[in-house]
A and B are shown apart, each in its own frame.
Chain A
């Protein structure tokens, strides 16, 4: 009898104790490309988020609650992204949403977040519009936008080459290509450098040689490009075969040459300079710790996407702990103007447009590795707040 009483007591206590130790998790939905062209970017996003989540959970979670990541494949397609995001908001009831890569997906998911009264953040999308004329009170961007990357690169170029440098532009003919070219042109012309021509090639273009004619005639000292992925490999190889890389400095967007296509590029990537918000070379204790943990977990180097996604979890943790709640309005207030630590050092979430302010770097490819060649302090690179919605 005694034994039965003891046993039932034990069962009872365990039943009562269970909800106390296993608190309701904080759910973060991740809508990111797990298949298709952008799958390598989605991979970095996933790695960064999972690494930070493991660390946070190991040290007690957020407000004592564990963090749970729920992944959905967006296929880098805004239409798919909104479906998956809707499901995460309505059915899974996530507290927060992140992961979108395609700038169009980020904008679409942002509108959805507003309708569902939830918060969302991108760790990848470049388009200036997301925290510019299409800004949303419910969307935060923890990574650097196209304008910040251009500022860092133009600053370095002006110092290295001087005023009057002749620049030629070659971009992919769609939203991102035209945006990045316009952003860098503005930054370069503001620093008294000269535009000698621009041309846009279709996305997925096979033969760039017809585009070289105007460039030869313009005799530029610098070529700025924002093509990406396989297009980069074709463009760089063809420039090399036509002997055009001699006496020509090639610079461009941070998505043009990444750790993903560096292998395919080989030697022709050497000398390429870009403006970026992260490099494994950043010499800080935070980055060294991050780098060691990332390499140990995945046997690969993080790129800007991995680092910014890792930093996002700490951003959300800091905001929720400051708000002492996951309530949308309270967390939004906490996020505005929030300063938090990331592998890149301290970032600040600007209250006016929800754009993270961070130090920016110009990096150059040397023997298949990015070397930092200059640094621009965050406030100098971020550019004016053009958001008028809140």
Chain B
């Protein structure tokens, strides 16, 4: 019995906490994806590169002496106009085409490749490692955890709540949901649909940028970093149900806990095949996800 309690405290608990930190990272990425998809019906393949853009912007500003805490506000603010422009200049052009899904997916995929190469050209292929703003560990229930990861869980949870609040409890959120449900009806009722689209896209991009800054002290900054979380984030979106915030949170948490706990028994490199196996099964048996339904409906 003592051995079991020991196992729970010193093996299971740290592992689950670890899963939670990765889960928060995945959810932060998936939130932007799901909002953009839920409203615009666009699979933003360049989402990971906007995450990288946030991280690089953070590194650049930090080298000019901007404090890490200020970056958490500054980088998302700087990415808002960037996201707005990308939507206006690129995505809206294809938005009314019949092959919208395929075309916007190809467009954002191309954008991702261009951005990755630009990072390589501007910053070189080597990994940059931003200093962690909170060093060392903190003892919780007999276990040591990196202080920065505890902070990440806290601020991540707050961000997720804030996004939920904006979408479900504000006037802007109501317009977004209305536009997602029926854009023609919303437009005829006076919702500035085009602006809502661009703003929502910008909002998703800003979220990706915030994740970039938040995660860079743990995962470092390198040109292909956009590919790291994006597959997990897509899987969380699929598992949770496209366009559902509740679903993304649950999907992200479930997937990363499965990954964390399975890595106690099989090599952690098997975590990815397990997660993507689950994605395939969900697509077979419940393609609409756990909380099927679009942003306007859920």
A213 touching B136, Cβ below 8 Å:
no
Which residues of B sit under 8 angstroms from A217, Cβ to Cβ? Answer: 7, 11, 264
B15 touching A213, Cβ below 8 Å:
yes
Residue A111 CB within 8 A of the other chain: no
Q: Who on chain B is nearest to A211 by CB?
A: B268
Residue B97 CB within 8 A of the other chain: no
A213 touching B11, Cβ below 8 Å:
yes
Residue A230 CB within 8 A of the other chain: yes
Which residues of A sit under 8 angstroms from B158, Cβ to Cβ? Answer: none
Nearest CB in chain B: distance from A24 CB, A: 43
B18 touching A213, Cβ below 8 Å:
yes
- Assuming the A-B contacts A199-B268, A200-B269, are A242 and B146 also in contact, with contact meaning beta carbons closer than 8 angstroms in the complex? yes
Q: Who on chain B is nearest to A214 by CB?
A: B264
Complex: A207 Cα to B127 Cα, angstroms: 14
Which residues of B sit under 8 angstroms from A214, Cβ to Cβ? Answer: 263-265, 268
B260 touching A243, Cβ below 8 Å:
no
Q: Who on chain A is nearest to B143 by CB?
A: A243
Residue B14 CB within 8 A of the other chain: yes
Nearest CB in chain A: distance from B237 CB, A: 22
- Which residue in A200, A210, A238 is a CB contact (below 8 Å) of B259? A210
Chain A 181-212: CB-based contact to B (< 8 A → 1; otherwise 0): 00000000000000000011110101101111
Complex: A210 Cα to B260 Cα, angstroms: 6
Residue A216 CB within 8 A of the other chain: yes
Complex: A103 Cα to B231 Cα, angstroms: 34
Chain B 198-214: CB-based contact to A (< 8 A → 1; otherwise 0): 00000000000000000
Nearest CB in chain B: distance from A116 CB, A: 34
Near A by CB (< 8 A), chain B positions 1-25 give 7, 10-11, 14-15, 18, 21-22
Complex: A201 Cα to B218 Cα, angstroms: 16
Complex: A202 Cα to B270 Cα, angstroms: 12
B268 touching A206, Cβ below 8 Å:
no
- Assuming the A-B contacts A213-B18, A216-B14, A217-B11, are A238 and B146 also in contact, with contact meaning beta carbons closer than 8 angstroms in the complex? yes
Which residues of B sit under 8 angstroms from A238, Cβ to Cβ? Answer: 146
Nearest CB in chain A: distance from B28 CB, A: 15
B219 touching A206, Cβ below 8 Å:
yes
Complex: A217 Cα to B10 Cα, angstroms: 8
Which residues of B sit under 8 angstroms from A86, Cβ to Cβ? Answer: none
- Assuming the A-B contacts A211-B268, A214-B263, A238-B146, are A230 and B136 also in contact, with contact meaning beta carbons closer than 8 angstroms in the complex? no
Residue B154 CB within 8 A of the other chain: no
Complex: A211 Cα to B267 Cα, angstroms: 8
A242 touching B14, Cβ below 8 Å:
yes
Nearest CB in chain B: distance from A61 CB, A: 41
Which residues of A sit under 8 angstroms from B7, Cβ to Cβ? Answer: 217
Which residues of B sit under 8 angstroms from A209, Cβ to Cβ? Answer: 18, 21
- Assuming the A-B contacts A200-B267, A202-B269, are A210 and B139 also in contact, with contact meaning beta carbons closer than 8 angstroms in the complex? no
B263 touching A213, Cβ below 8 Å:
yes
Complex: A200 Cα to B145 Cα, angstroms: 23
B271 touching A213, Cβ below 8 Å:
no
- Which residue in B22, B145, B263, B271 is a CB contact (below 8 Å) of A242? B145
Which residues of B sit under 8 angstroms from A173, Cβ to Cβ? Answer: 269
Nearest CB in chain B: distance from A263 CB, A: 13
Complex: A212 Cα to B144 Cα, angstroms: 12
Near A by CB (< 8 A), chain B positions 241-275 give 259-260, 263-265, 267-269, 271
A216 touching B10, Cβ below 8 Å:
yes
Which residues of A sit under 8 angstroms from B271, Cβ to Cβ? Answer: 210
Which residues of B sit under 8 angstroms from A204, Cβ to Cβ? Answer: 127
- Assuming the A-B contacts A202-B269, A230-B127, are A210 and B263 also in contact, with contact meaning beta carbons closer than 8 angstroms in the complex? yes
Residue A286 CB within 8 A of the other chain: no
Q: Who on chain B is nearest to A37 by CB?
A: B126
B144 touching A241, Cβ below 8 Å:
yes
- Which residue in A201, A206, A213, A243 is a CB contact (below 8 Å) of B137? A243
B11 touching A216, Cβ below 8 Å:
yes
A213 touching B267, Cβ below 8 Å:
no
Nearest CB in chain B: distance from A275 CB, A: 26
Besides A206-B218, A242-B145, A243-B143, 8 more A-B contacts (Cβ < 8 Å) are: A202-B269, A213-B264, A217-B7, A233-B129, A238-B146, A241-B145, A242-B144, A243-B139
A–B Cβ pairs within 8 angstroms, 28 of them: A173-B269, A199-B267, A200-B267, A201-B268, A201-B269, A204-B127, A209-B18, A209-B21, A210-B18, A210-B271, A213-B14, A213-B260, A214-B268, A216-B10, A217-B7, A217-B11, A217-B264, A230-B129, A234-B220, A238-B146, A240-B137, A241-B136, A241-B137, A241-B144, A242-B143, A243-B139, A243-B144, A244-B144
